[in-house]
Amino acid sequence: MSHSTCSVPVLRRPEAMSQNPTKVFHAARDFLLSHREDYATAYTGFQWPALPQFNWALDHFDVLARDNHGTALWIVDDQGSEVQRSFEQLRVASDRTANFLRGLGIARGDRLLVMLPNRVELWELMLAAIKLGAVISPATTLLSEADLQDRIERGGMRAVIADEASVPRFAGLAEHCIRIVCGHAEGWRSYADSEQASPVFAAEGSTGADDPCVLYFTSGTTAKPKMVLHTQQSYPVGHLSTLYWLGLRPDDVHLNISSPGWAKHAWSCFFAPWTVGATIFIYNQGRFDAGRTLATLVRCGVTTLCAPPTAWRSLILEDLARYPVRLRELTSAGEPLNPEVIERVKAAWGLTIREGFGQTESTAMLGNPPGQPVRYGSMGRPLPGYRIDLLDLDGKPASEGEVSVQLQPRPAALMAGYAGDAARTQKALGGSHYGTSDVASRDADGYFWYVGRTDDVFKSSDYRISPFELESALIEHPAVAEAAVVESPDAKRLCVPKACVILKPGVAADAETARALFSFTRGRLAPYQKIRVIEFCDLPKTVSGKIRRTELRSIEAQRRALGTRGEREFFENDFPELLESGRPV
* pLDDT tens by residue, 408-428: 999 999 999 999 999 999 999
What is residue 176's predicted lDDT score, i.e. its pLDDT?
93
> Which of 123-137, 331-345, 452-466, 524-538 is most confident?
123-137
List, for residues 219-244, the tens digit of each pLDDT value.
654 567 899 999 999 999 999 999 99
pLDDT > 90 in the chain, percent: 77
d(CA 582, CA 270): 53
For the chain, where do the domains classified as CATH 3.40.50.12780 start and end? 56-449
pLDDT, one tens digit per residue, over 435-469 is: 998 889 999 999 999 887 777 778 787 677 878 88
Residue 1 has pLDDT above 70, yes or no: no
Band of pLDDT at residue 577, cut at 50, 70 and 90: confident
pLDDT at 173 over 60: yes
pLDDT at position 16: 38
The per-residue pLDDT for 338 is 80
Res 219: pLDDT: 65
pLDDT of residue 115 exceeding 90, the answer is yes
What superfamily would CATH give domain 56-449? ANL, N-terminal domain (3.40.50.12780)
The SS3 call for residue 68 is: coil
What is the average per-residue pLDDT within 307-333? 94
For residue 109, pLDDT beyond 80: yes
Range(s) of the chain covered by CATH 3.30.300.30: 459-580
Higher pLDDT, 458 or 113: 113
Cα–Cα dist 442/554, whole Å: 32
Please write the tens of the pLDDT for every residue from 358-411. Answer: 999 999 999 999 999 999 889 999 999 999 999 998 899 999 999 999 999 999
What gap in Å lies between CA 160 and CA 234, rounded to an integer?
24
Burial 222-249 (b: 16+ CB within 10 A, else e): eeebbbbbbbbbbbbbbbbbbbbbbbbb
What secondary structure does DSSP assign to 376-389, as a single string?
TTEEEEEPTT--EE
CB–CB of 308/335 below 8 Å? yes
| Cα distance between residue 413 and residue 362, in whole Å | 6
**Looking at residues 7-34, what average pLDDT do you find?**
75
* Span 185-214, pLDDT tens digits: 999 999 999 999 999 999 999 999 999 999
User: What burial letters (b/e) apply to 423-432, b meaning 16+ CB within 10 Å?
Assistant: eebeebbeee
Measured CA to CA, the distance from residue 232 to residue 57 in angstroms comes to 10
- For residue 18, pLDDT over 60 is answered with no
State the pLDDT at residue 111.
98
The arithmetic mean of pLDDT across residues 20-32, rounded, is: 97
pLDDT of residue 11: 55
Average pLDDT of the residues of the chain: 91
Residue 546's pLDDT is what? 75
pLDDT at 7: 44
pLDDT tens digit sequence for 503-557 = 999 999 999 999 999 999 988 887 888 999 999 999 998 776 778 888 898 899 9
Confidence of residue 321 (pLDDT cuts 50, 70, 90): very high
229 Cβ contact partners less than 8 Å away, ≥ 6 residues apart: 135, 212, 214, 215, 415, 416, 417, 418, 419
Residue 585: pLDDT band by 50, 70, 90 thresholds? Answer: very low
* Residues above pLDDT 70, as percent of the chain: 95
- Structure-model confidence comparison of residues 349 and 469, the more confident one: 349
Residue 10 in this model has a pLDDT that exceeds 90 = no
Residue 55 CA to residue 236 CA, distance in Å, equals 8
* CATH 1.10.1040.50, domain 459-580, yes or no: no
Q: How confident is the model at residue 310 (pLDDT cuts 50, 70, 90)?
A: confident
Determine the average pLDDT of the residues in 80-90: 96
- The sign of the CA dihedral 525, 529, 530, 534 is negative
pLDDT range class, residue 113, cuts 50, 70, 90: very high
Q: Read off the pLDDT of each residue in 485-491 and give the average, rounded to a whole number.
A: 90
Contact 203, 234 (CB under 8 A): no
Confidence tier at 19 by pLDDT (50, 70, 90): confident
475, pLDDT greater than 70: yes
pLDDT for the residue numbered 460: 85
Average pLDDT estimate for 37-61: 96
Pairing of strands 227-231, 212-217: antiparallel
* Neighbour tally for 69: CB within 10 Å: 10
pLDDT at residue 581 in the model: 57
Q: Binning pLDDT at 50, 70 and 90, where does residue 3 land?
A: very low
The confidence band for 97, taking pLDDT boundaries of 50, 70 and 90, is: very high
Q: What is the pLDDT of residues 239-278, one digit of tens each?
A: 999 999 999 999 999 999 999 998 999 999 999 999 999 9
